[in-house]
Structure 1
Amino acid sequence: MSLINRLETSAADFDARLGTLLDREDAASLAIEERVREIVASVRRDGDAAVLDLTRSLDRIRCDSVAELEVPAERLRSALENLSPAPRRALEFAERRIRRYAEQQKESGWLSEDEFGNQLGQRVTPLDRVGVYVPGGRAAYPSSVLMNIVPARVAGVGEIIMVVPAPDGIINDLVLAAAALAGVDRVFTVGGAQAVAALAFGTDTIPPVDKIVGPGNAYVAGAKRQVFGRVGIDSIAGPSEVAIYTDGSLDPDWAALDLFAQAEHDELAQSILICPDTAYLDRVEAAMERLIADMPRAEIIRASLQGRGALIQCRDQAEGLSVVNRIAPEHLELAVAEPEALLPEVRHAGAIFMGHHSPEAFGDYCAGPNHVLPTSGTARFSSPLGVYDFQKRSSIIHCSQRGGQALAGPARALAEAEGLDAHARSAAVRGEPE
């Protein structure tokens, strides 16, 4: 069986085959949604008792209270202080770059005065309390800790609560070190839909938050979907994706490794390479077949590439970029000699990696821009996580006497047209001389 699917845009069945690859519906989603609904309702009703029961049964943690699931601040500090030099330097390097990038995103308020002497403007304030979900279990993601907490800190969020599953009571010290470095306030070893519900509704021990951010599995995504409205959320994250457009100038081994890097996340991750040159695609496929044997996660990579990966031959650059926009990928690599020339044609992508020396892996860890990105085609209308996600805006309207008189007539007329008499009268009295 071939390692990866081959598609041609000129083929009669191309649209159908690409559509199948991009179909993000999961056959198990309805069953998951129902189970998540039960968990959310249980936590909302029973609070700490439900969180404790679910954590005991699902994560096999022995404890008598939710308070025991909070990681002491001293343990966070100790994890950072005792970290080996190399990973600590890497964490600090990444944190500095993420913070520096985030500081460029911070918004501030403004005021202006119109021709009637009215002051109009906008006030920007940070959220009071934010919940950050960090995946745990099979893998540790200190990079996710930094990417979610640092911009919240830059925004000025008052309190940051982190939740992370710790199956069998085991939690990665690198994750705790990253939390300490980023400046988290409290950490609870609670995961899954129950953690999301606890953050949304609050319990006697876990305080309710204003917004929940951070990736997780299908249960976490389902819970975020169900509590949205009670709290804000960043997005409903799906499997990770990369699309690479190249003219054939990217080293085939590099292309293969970039595709592998995305595929090794999990079996549902998606890796797609688009190029007009058939011979080049053959070389990339040969490189993949040769390099796969050296990959520790080869089984996961194979499943991902065979299930959702593709090498796509397009007719030309314009058609290739049209396919990119149809995919609206989470990550896009423009692996050409002059990527700036192609950038105006890209309408939909979460993060764009320019040229041969900007692999998506840099974005995952330490380039600086956030790696929490829109997935499943939502780059058509969504943006990367940023400082702006932890700020809110209030409009400011301060009318002078002359300004109020100027607005009164039009406001009254529009209110009367809508049949809202109290609105009309409220406006009208401001138009009368004092």
Structure 2
Amino acid sequence: MNALDNTQPANPDALSGLLRFITAGSVDDGKSTLIGRLLFDSKGIFADQLDAMSRSKHKRTVGDAVDLSLLTDGLEAEREQGITIDVAYRYFATPKRKFIIADTPGHEQYTRNMVTGASTADAVIILIDVSKVKLREDGGVDLLIQTKRHSTIAHLLQIEHIVVAVNKMDLIDYDQAIYERIVKAYREFAASLGLKDITPIPLSALSGDNVVSASEKLGWYQGPTLIELLESLSVYDESHHAPFRFPVQLVARHNGHEAKDFRGYMGRIEAGKVSVGDKLVVQPSGQSATVKDIVTLEGSHQSAVVGQSVTLLLNEHLDVSRGDLLAGADRPATLLKSLNADVCWMSDEPLDQRRKYWIKHGTKQTAAKITAIESLLDINTQQRHGADGLKLNDIARISLSVQQPLAADAYADIRATGAFILIDEVTHQTVAAGMIRLGA
């Protein structure tokens, strides 16, 4: 976020009613259609949008029925092929809550886009197409690999709520027994991952059964509809109570025509809170600082909290620049020259440990070298084993060394200062997204 764009509300608690969620799962599980149904049935579609979808040459429904997937599949290639490629964000609101939805691709080759959409989500809807799962003779169910992969990523990214939407129930005549077999199989897989907050729900996105309105065809289901469930999910942001973290984006000076010296440090508060008079530490240099003023476009403030974009003025004249971290003096971040991390490899080019990479951590960028692949995660069994390389969509634990120390936290403690991306030095392409594991 640009530090100059102070669009955050003065009181971020006003966002307590906002839920960010994504749809995930395998190809053609109905993710885009489900979002379109949510928006359509909750009156979140404008008349001109509805008209454009009705007249689209790529409409895949019969007769006058609206192809709701077109609402999020906006790219020409998506509409031609009937698949989701990029992440599409949509906003809608009900009387009880505001929502930001990310529609993410199901194809394996676009898993990197799913990681992008999931990185800021509070909840994930894992869709399971009842017509695609394999029902075994022993009563078990074989889930699709992308269902497992997306669930694994949701676990690694520590998404709080997992909603298992068993979709296309109309194709099996709303059979409760099959639904329960699928839910049982998913719960067993989720237990192997360590996922805890799981809520299953049967529905049909195309027909609208159990999405916004309850369906008589699912009379055996006594739980909430999908929208009722989403309205009820709690969003507890622990970063409000975390130690203060402020990556410096820009150093602001006066315009050169004023006698009064002004030097402010601009950025977004990624964790904790800050008040005038607070003692800070500049990392990685270790210099001590005291907050003199907190400035936004509305003027000076006595305090600010996570989520706000502000300019901090310090009492001391210090060498602070972009990439430095201002942290609470009582609980500073950990300085790391080497680290362990879980990564999702996002490049078509396999990992080459001889190549040079940049690590982008917060606002800091420095050279990095992958020193070892500790283990590769098997999506099906959740077992880790040795590997001598990484290819597209692999999830692995690696060791890194960095040229300049990073002021970082474990991803489990603070997402913003525990996450990073790796960039190929030659192509400038993002090749991996990582989560720092301290003590791992």
TM-score with structure 2 length normalisation? 0.25
Larger-Rg structure: 1
Q: Which has more strand, going by share of residues?
A: 2
TM-score with structure 1 length normalisation? 0.25
Q: Which has the higher contact order (CA 8 A, sep 6+)?
A: 1
